[in-house]
Amino acid sequence: MKFCVFLGSSSGCDVQYAAAARKLGNHLALSGIGLVYGGASIGLMGELAQSCTDAGGEVIGIIPERIAEIEMKAEFISELIYVDSLAEREELMFQYSNGFIAIPGGVGTLEEIFTVSTWNALKYHDKPLGMLNTNRYYDGLLDFLKFQSEQGFVSQNWIDSLIVDERVTRLVERMVRACSSDDQDAESNPRRRAASSAQIWWFRHVHSKTFVVPGAGLEPARKSLRGILSPLRLPISPPGQVDLPLQ
């Protein structure tokens, strides 16, 4: 099992944030849960990755090459994956992870929260999203979501599905239970099982020549591609990439 953690590459102005990041990294490692994150070695990202590594945990960092030097890539972790864009980073984070945890961070963290939340709202996945509410950091966001729900723009059911806790150990325990419950539901429901296997089938245009098909279920995705690309007589190249004859 792996959890993707969204968090800042800054440390914030309260020492509680760094302490919470270190505690989370340590607890994930001791619980045998892999860590997936943004790949930086500075700020809360660095605190999280270093503490997880020091405790013997598996740490996978995913970072765009363009910002690898800006955010000082973490070369001490188990695996560092370079990508070409923030969009590719999010896609790989999704593929590698069973669930997501947000701890304090900036606008990038908020963007990641709402990206996976949008995919959830559109029924692309049902992986749990947790928030480590250190120093009541996310109270303002949760109040705004409640207001949005009252105004008819956000589902209260989705808000209720968020796993919010101020304690690291309790949050991780709740996340593990949510993942186990989802796995059992998928096994008992053939349609859910198929969706879980294929994960997200969507195509994103990168480098102006390649469409990438993310998702663990590559074979269903390849079948989906055949129906789209056969009339164009374009080959399907593993791992789910198709070269397009663009000008």
pLDDT exceeds 60 at position 180: yes
The 10s digit of each residue's pLDDT in 98-134 is 999 999 999 999 999 999 999 988 888 999 999 999 9
Give the pTM: 0.76
Domain ranges in the chain are 2-193, 201-243
Three-state SS for 101?
Answer: strand
Identify the pLDDT of residue 70: 75
pLDDT exceeds 70 at position 71: no
Give the whole-angstrom CA distance, residue 19 versus residue 195.
38
The 10s digit of each residue's pLDDT in 17-41 is 999 999 999 999 999 999 999 999 9
Helices of type H across 168-231: 168-188, 190-198, 218-229
Give the β-pairing of 2-6 and 34-37: parallel
pLDDT exceeds 70 at position 148: yes
Pick the CATH number of 2-193 from 3.40.50.450, 3.40.190.10, 3.30.930.10, 1.10.260.40: 3.40.50.450
